[in-house]
Structure formats: structure tokens, C-alpha cells
Structure 1
Amino acid sequence: MDRPRFRAHFLHPRFWLLWLGLGLLWLIVQLPFRVLLVIGRALGWVMYYQATDRRVIAARNLELCFPQYSKAERKRLLKKNFASTGIAFFEMAMSWWWSKPRLARLAHIEGLHHLKQAQLDGHGVILMALHFTTLEIGAALLGQQHTIDGMYRQHKNALFDYVQRRGRERHNMDSIAVEREDVRGMIKQLRKGRAIWYAPDQDYGAKQSIFVPLFGIQAATVPATSKFAKLGHALVVPFTQERLADGSGYKLVIHPPLSDFPGESDEADCIRINQWVERAVTECPEQYLWAHRRFKSRPPGEPKLYKKRG
């Protein structure tokens, strides 16, 4: 895709309210990082009480995935999760607008040599990530150290799409945004030895998925990771990030490439991926995006796991 360009029609009055909101957000994120953490937690507290639908979905996911926790433990985890979601709002803006040196001071990166070695060997890389609340800033911090391309879905609001893409791509001057539906484009970039951020941990519907266990529940899981790795002759390199509790920044970990992947079957690969998802999420459950209806699609004959929205 071409680099985002400013358009004159972005000055149309229908965008003024968004410009105002973006300007206010820009001003707020000039505050010190630790102050933003406090404000973010406060925003998360408001969201916990106001975003009822999302709270119900997240609570249900925690109930399904952590039945061993008491009701009180899950409620505490749910509140922490909303605090993390509130902070993520400002992390997004930080990754778009903070100066690169200021942002870089927050990064604590481990395993970068796995990406460097793959590049030296001429291998494309599927940077297998997860939908943590920290995904936006995690990608920005890693992008300052190593060029990564990203799967991209155009936003309906043209101005927001421009601001978002410009903010994301400024960390990688030669990065490429690959349309989420552009399979050929992704494979082409992998064969060129590019590293592409890709997250296979959401429910994209039963038609394009295989049902395999996730936290003991049959979950619709896309086999695309295997197909991309096979067709793109690429390594699959897991990537995680975590907001550190002491307020010093973020720990980013590039894990070793998956060995013997793809395996014997798409089903076996999906099981392996979900087992990795379980381990990664369990290490930092309060920072995972629980508000997504991960178990929305059900195998034939199985009951729905979420209540109908009122």
C-alpha cells in the first residue's frame, strides 16, 4: 500500500470534532509516562462501569478460561484488565506522537537476535503476536529496532485511518501495510524475507476455521498461520510484550522460531498455536483483550456461550 497522505478534505467541518479529540489527546500524552498510567487506570475504572456489554463479555471469558479462580479473584482480574485497557488508549497515542528517543527509553527487548538471524539467512518471518492491550505500543517499540510489516484493515473514518497509519508507519520507514485480505501480497512479502506482524488468536468465524481446544474449550482457530508459513517459506516467530508493573516501560520478547512448523496437519498446528496462546495469556492475563467474544463460533450442536445482547 502507498504511504498515507494528507488530503484537503480532512479539513471539512465533518472532521472538526475528531480533530478536536485528537488535539486534546495529543496534549494529554505530553504528560510524564507515570502520570499517563494513573490517568489510564482512571479511564479504565470509568469504562468498567460504563461499558456494560464489554464488561459482561470479558467477565464471561474469564469465567470460561479460569474456572479454577474464585468469583472474587476473577472480579479483581477483570478490574485490572479494564485498567490495562484504559492505559492502552494513551499507549496508542504515545506510539503515534512521542518522539522516537522518548519512546525508545521504555523498551526492554529480549531475543532480537532471532529476527536478525532470520534476516541474515534470507527467511521471511511471521511474527506471531497476540491481542494484548499493549499490542500498539509493543509493535511501535519493536519497529524502532527492526523493520516489521503489518496486516492492516482500513478504518471507516478516512481521517482516523490517515492518523493511525501515519503514526504506525513512522517507526519503520520502509514498512509495508498489507491488507488483511491480501493473501498473495503477504506471501510475496514473506518470500522477500520480510517480517510480518500477525495475530491468529481471534474468532474469524467457523467457515475459515478449525475447532480445537483453547483453555479446554473448542475454539474456532484459523489455520492461516500454517498456510502462510508453508507458501511463504517463512519461519513462525512468537512475539509477546508486557507492561512492567514498576512503571519502567515494557518487556518485549522475541521467542525462538517454532521448530518443525508447519507440522503434519493444520489441526495439529492449530492445537500447537492455541497451547502457546494459553501459556502467553496465563503469564499476563490482566493485559489480554478479554472483551473480544473469542468463543462466539460454536461447533455444530453446541450451545452458545454468550448471552444475546439486549
Structure 2
Amino acid sequence: MRCWAITPLVWSARVVARLPQRVLLTLGETLAIALWPLLGRRRRIARINIDLCFPELSVAQRRTLLRRNMAATMIGALELLRAWYAPSSALQGLVRIEGLERLQAAQARGHGVLLFTGHFTGSELVTRLLAEQLGRPIRAVIRRHNSPCLEETYEAARAPVFGPTLAKKDVRGLLKVLQAGEPVGYSADQNFTYQNAFVPFFGVPASTLTTVPELVRRGRAEMLPFWFHRDAAGIYRVRIEAPWAGWAEATPEEAAAIYMRELETVVREHPEQYLWVHRRFKTRPMGEPAIY
């Protein structure tokens, strides 16, 4: 795609970003139905993940969860546009935050903060909503896109909101930002093939990054769990919690297991809003067959 061809899409995205909340949510649900035949690969991945993680549900219940998850995933794509392009005036009244004082206190101490969370469908929008309340940008760690044109477009959208983004493997850049006292949103719940350990996630061994406590120590930062969901009224409910007991002192594998245990607890509260379309269990322990 030529870069000039993206311009009309950006202008369309700016229009979507300003839609009333109820209209945006309805649009996402409608698109999920309309595009259902085109989402076959992602539906298959989400179905496998849901079947693995919720064996206690009936087949009918798991298929209902799949439909709700695909709707939330499509809404998440629209929420991404809102995160990037909406004016602050369009975000008023959309968020309720518990524990903001924990983040403010860490910042007052001059510490960087790793806001440790997971991949939920509205992650970037909620991060921006939190930043609006905090009064300063929260840096984002992202995976670079393979297309230079798309990457340029994405960075141009993100940078005014989050500041220059940090690449997923840019450890030096992340440490520099934390050492400078900045807050960073961070997730480590996708499949890792390096510095990893297999720990239980919904009872399934999941290849998980083990180095997060070391990143926090080297960054002279604090870790605060950062959870959120969108409620039935379309309001984003955010919780900033105290650090998990024993996490900072645990072995790398134990710390990864604590993270997955805490994440699972939160995902079970609103499972339709987790990013099940990701191949979370792609890497398997030695001798185990492929899942996807």
C-alpha cells in the first residue's frame, strides 16, 4: 500500500474516533457480524484458546463466549482509533479509576512505574484514559509493523498521545525511560521464545517472559498491576493495585507464574474482553504436539 493511499483511511479513522460511545460500541458489534466470514483464522485461534481454557463450560457456552469475544475484538479495533485520534473532549466521562493515588505516589517519589497488565481488547484506549487523569503521557511498548508505511502511520498516531513508542525488544530504551521516572504500560502475556518459562495459564503450560522483575530492578522503578474492563454502560473501569506479595523477590520462573495466576483471575472476571485471537500457546514444552 502506498503511503498516500492511507490518508483517506486516517481521515475516516478520525471521524470514527469522535463517535458517541454507544454508537461506537454498536458499530463494533455490527462489524463483527458482518465480517464474521472474513475472520475465520482469528475465530479458529480464539475458539481453540477458549476450548482449552474453559473446559468447565458447555460447548454452547463456549460458542457464546467466542461470539462475544469477536465482538469485543472488533470494538477493540475501533477503540484503538479512539485512543489515537479522539480529542480529549470526546473522552470525558468514559473512565472510573481506583488506585490512581498509588501511581501518583510512585511518581512523586521520582520513580518510573511499570504498569503491568495483559493484552485486553481496549488496552491503548484505557492507557490513554489513565494518562488523561494522570496529566502526563504513559509510554507504550509495541511490536513494530513489517510495513514501513504502516509503521510510520501508526507512530504518527501514537506519538502525540503516548510519546515516542518503545519497540518490544528495545530493553535499553525501556530501562532509560524507567530510569528517567516515566510510567510505562507493559504486557508480557504473549508467546515468548526467549528468556521464558512454561507456567500455568488456565491450567495450560504457557511460554512466559521471566525477566520482568529484573527490568524493574535495573530501571530503578516500581511495578503496579494495572487492570481494566469496559462495563455494560460503556464506562472503562480501571484498577491500579499494590504490587503482588513475593513477586519482586521470587525466582524468575516463580514471578512469571505469579503474573499468570493474577492475570487469569482478572481475565475470568470479563473473559470476553481478553485477546483470545492471539496464539498464546504456540510454543509447547518439549515433546508436546502443536495446538494450532
Match of 2:166 in 1: 178
Q: Give a deviation string over 1:287-309, Cα, whole Å, max 9, x none.
A: 11101110110111111122xxx
Structure 2 residue 252 is matched with structure 1 residue 262: no
Inter-partner Cα distance in structure 2 for 1:208 and 1:68: 32
Inter-partner Cα distance in structure 2 for 1:18 and 1:87: 21
Match of 1:215 in 2: 202
For residue 66 of structure 1, report the CA deviation from its aligned partner.
0.5
Q: Match for 1:90: what amino acid?
A: L
Is the partner of 2:290 in helix, strand or coil?
Answer: coil
From the superposition, tell whether residues 166 and 104 of structure 1 become closer, same or farther in structure 2 (CA, over 3 Å).
farther
Structure 1: 4+ residue segments shifted above 6 A: none
For residue 49 of structure 1, report the CA deviation from its aligned partner.
2.8
Is the partner of 1:239 in helix, strand or coil?
Answer: strand
Unaligned runs of 5+ in 2: none
Q: Given the alignment, which residue of 218, 226, 230 partners 2:213? A: 226
Is the partner of 1:144 in helix, strand or coil?
Answer: helix
Structure 2 residue 284 is matched with structure 1 residue 294: no
Normalised by the length of structure 2, the TM-score is 0.92
Structure 2 residue 233 is matched with structure 1 residue 246: yes
Is the partner of 1:133 in helix, strand or coil?
Answer: coil
Paired positions, count = 290
Inter-partner Cα distance in structure 2 for 1:31 and 1:273: 36
Q: Match for 2:205: what amino acid?
A: Q
Q: Give a deviation string over 1:119-175, Cα, whole Å, max 9, x none.
A: 122222111021101112111111212332121333334443344333333335xx4
Tell me, yes or no, if the aligned pair for 2:155 and 2:164 is still in contact at 8 Å.
no
Identical-residue share of aligned pairs (%): 36
Match of 2:88 in 1: 100
Inter-partner Cα distance in structure 1 for 2:144 and 2:265: 31
For residue 263 of structure 1, report the CA deviation from its aligned partner.
2.1
From the superposition, tell whether residues 163 and 100 of structure 1 become closer, same or farther in structure 2 (CA, over 3 Å).
farther
Unaligned runs of 5+ in 1: 1-12
The correspondence of residues 6-45 of structure 1 with structure 2, limited to 5 A, is 14-45=2-33
Q: Match for 2:267: what amino acid?
A: V
Is the partner of 1:304 in helix, strand or coil?
Answer: coil
For residue 16 of structure 1, report the CA deviation from its aligned partner.
3.5
Larger radius of gyration, structure 1 or 2? 1
Q: Match for 1:113: what amino acid?
A: E
Inter-partner Cα distance in structure 1 for 2:91 and 2:265: 28
Match of 1:3 in 2: none
Match of 2:150 in 1: 160
From the superposition, tell whether residues 79 and 185 of structure 1 become closer, same or farther in structure 2 (CA, over 3 Å).
same
Is the partner of 1:69 in helix, strand or coil?
Answer: coil
Match of 1:46 in 2: 34
More displaced 10-residue stretch of structure 1: 235-244 or 126-135: 235-244
What is the RMSD of the two structures over their aligned residues, measured on CA atoms?
1.8
Q: Given the alignment, which residue of 90, 93, 111 partners 2:99? A: 111
Q: Match for 1:65: what amino acid?
A: C
Match of 1:150 in 2: 140
More displaced 10-residue stretch of structure 1: 106-115 or 226-235: 226-235
Tell me, yes or no, if the aligned pair for 1:211 and 1:218 is still in contact at 8 Å.
yes
Structure 2 residue 271 is matched with structure 1 residue 282: no
For residue 23 of structure 1, report the CA deviation from its aligned partner.
2.4
Inter-partner Cα distance in structure 2 for 1:166 and 1:158: 12
Tell me, yes or no, if the aligned pair for 1:213 and 1:271 is still in contact at 8 Å.
yes
Tell me, yes or no, if the aligned pair for 1:191 and 1:233 is still in contact at 8 Å.
yes
Inter-partner Cα distance in structure 2 for 1:221 and 1:279: 17
Is the partner of 2:191 in helix, strand or coil?
Answer: coil
Normalised by the length of structure 1, the TM-score is 0.87
Tell me, yes or no, if the aligned pair for 1:235 and 1:258 is still in contact at 8 Å.
no
For residue 176 of structure 1, report the CA deviation from its aligned partner.
4.2
From the superposition, tell whether residues 65 and 24 of structure 1 become closer, same or farther in structure 2 (CA, over 3 Å).
same
For residue 284 of structure 1, report the CA deviation from its aligned partner.
1.0
Tell me, yes or no, if the aligned pair for 1:213 and 1:219 is still in contact at 8 Å.
yes
For residue 37 of structure 1, report the CA deviation from its aligned partner.
1.0
